[in-house]
Amino acid sequence: MRVSKALPLTERKQISLPLFSMPVNAGSQGHADDYVDEMLDLSKFLVKRPASTFFVRVEGESMIDAAIHPGDLLVVDRSVEPRHRDIVIAIVDGEFTVKSLYKKPNLRLVSHNRNKPTEIDEPFEVWGVVLWVLHKAR
């Protein structure tokens, strides 16, 4: 799975949208309540460190079993120290890729596609840690 063009956070335009105080019930039917608790700027919610954060769009299906699909937008922070099993953006042979970082028993990148499992243990550089995955519901 490759990631396409990185989208920088150079110009930050604030757009605040309503955040309803009542959570959405995913089980039985809940009560409809139109009470807006606050206005939410999604960029402030998703981006804690703008200077080290960027967006990338996903191409390919190597992370499909980790709920990362083609066309998804990833929020990546370069200042976060990668831990074992974090999903990261890495550079392998000069190309960006998104994989899970495994540190035990040896350092490697692992895909999450049961139909095409991949492990990369050749030299790579971790470029950043994926903090959020955004995709359309349909």
Active-site residue flag, 99: yes
- 118 contact partners, CB below 8 Å, separation of at least 6: 62, 99, 109, 110, 111
Q: Which of 13, 99, 111, 116 is catalytic?
A: 99
- 104 contact partners, CB below 8 Å, separation of at least 6: 84
Please check whether residue 108 is in contact with residue 121, taking contact to mean a CB–CB distance below 8 angstroms: yes
- 24 contact partners, CB below 8 Å, separation of at least 6: 30
Active-site residue flag, 79: no
Nearest to 109 by CA among 118, 130, 94: 118
Cα dist. 18→25, 40, 90 in Å? 18, 6, 36
Q: Which of 13, 43, 62, 136 is catalytic?
A: 62
Residues with catalytic roles? 62, 99
